[in-house]
């Protein structure tokens, strides 16, 4: 097992299900158990997000012109968003709920288990405390306003914590737009890496473009966040060894 904060990375806990390939779920089924109570990690009450913001640094990723479909397209890595011990606490809190197979959104509030299109496992929690904390840490690295006039409102409280084991991947896709009744829409994906994944283990987030199949990979580093506009084609590349824990949410605009 890889290490995190000086200790072996906690292995994932899996919730037993009897789901079958192609099975479809409605919002009322709540397959991700979002209505179950969940206790946020304690670091959110004692770790000052403004102080954490001052510890961050950023690296812009070069996405070839024309690959993004929006007036503004970008990808960047923000380092130092979370401390390693806080990442370990978040993983432990998520494991207390346990992972289930990751589903695919198919529209109108329905989800489907499509293992050929997506494997891996996830836990979904609604955590306003974590969303507010991330917004303050990441605010200098997010666009206040898009050229379309949409203004930054918040970070989505719906957090999806993903777990990949060897042999699993998420093939090329565009992240779906998350919409709220208030009119907010997601424009930027926030991918928080919860531990280091060595290059030789695979598991990068890889942007893809062009007829020549250009690639640009971002390898997970504990506590870093990959920010990118949701018009960019990308994949969760094949994990060869070890584990990969990440958290995905979005920056919401209106």
- The domain limits of the chain are 22-253
Spatial contact of 10 and 96, defined as CB atoms under 8 Å apart: no
- Across 180-196, average pLDDT: 97
> Could you give the percent of the chain with pLDDT greater than 70?
99
CB atoms within 10 A of CB 119: 18
Q: How confident is the model at residue 186 (pLDDT cuts 50, 70, 90)?
A: very high
Spatial contact of 144 and 189, defined as CB atoms under 8 Å apart: no
3 state SS of 187 = strand
* 201 vs 50: CA distance, rounded Å: 34
- Across 201-223, average pLDDT: 92
Q: How far is CA 245 from CA 40, 45, 106, 254, in A?
A: 17, 23, 24, 30
Q: How confident is the model at residue 15 (pLDDT cuts 50, 70, 90)?
A: very high
Q: Is the pLDDT at 67 greater than 80, yes or no?
A: no
Q: Which of 32, 132, 137, 46 is nearest to 89 (CA)?
A: 46
Q: Which range is least confidently modeled, 25-39, 205-219, 228-242?
A: 205-219
3 state SS of 214 = strand
What confidence score (pLDDT) does residue 70 get? 84
3 state SS of 91 = helix
What confidence score (pLDDT) does residue 8 get? 94
pLDDT in tens, 136-183: 999 999 999 998 899 999 999 999 999 999 999 999 999 989 999 999
Q: Is the pLDDT at 65 greater than 70, yes or no?
A: no
Spatial contact of 221 and 186, defined as CB atoms under 8 Å apart: no
CB atoms within 10 A of CB 18: 5
Q: How would CATH label the architecture of 22-253? A: Sandwich (2.60)
Q: Is the pLDDT at 120 greater than 80, yes or no?
A: yes
What does pLDDT average to over the chain?
95
Measured at the CA of 4, the angle between CA 3 and CA 7, to 5 degrees, comes to 65
């Amino acid at each position: 097992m890889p290490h995190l904060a000086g200790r072996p990375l906690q292995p994932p806990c899996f919730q037993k299900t009897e789901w079958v390939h192609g099975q479809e779920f409605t919002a009322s089924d709540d397959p991700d158990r979002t209505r179950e109570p969940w206790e946020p990690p304690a670091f959110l009450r004692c770790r000052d997000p403004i102080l954490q913001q001052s510890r961050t640094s950023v690296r812009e990723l070069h996405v070839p012109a024309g690959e993004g479909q929006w007036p503004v397209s970008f990808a960047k890595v923000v380092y130092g968003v979370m401390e390693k011990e806080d990442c370990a606490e978040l993983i432990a809190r998520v494991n207390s709920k346990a992972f289930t197979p990751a589903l695919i959104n198919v529209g109108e509030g329905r989800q489907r288990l499509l293992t050929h299109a997506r494997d891996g496992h996830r836990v979904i929690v609604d955590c306003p405390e974590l969303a507010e904390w991330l917004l303050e840490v990441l605010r200098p690295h997010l666009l206040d306003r898009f050229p379309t006039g949409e203004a930054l409102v918040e970070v989505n409280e719906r957090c999806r914590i993903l777990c990949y084991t060897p042999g699993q991947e998420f093939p090329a896709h565009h992240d779906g737009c998350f919409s709220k009744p208030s009119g907010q829409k997601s424009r930027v994906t926030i991918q928080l890496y919860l531990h280091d994944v060595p290059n030789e283990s695979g598991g990068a987030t890889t942007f893809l473009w062009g007829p020549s199949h250009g690639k640009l990979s971002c390898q997970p580093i504990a506590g870093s966040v990959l920010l990118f506009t949701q018009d960019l084609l990308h994949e969760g590349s094949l994990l060869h060894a070890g584990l990969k824990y990440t958290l995905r949410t979005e920056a919401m605009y209106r």
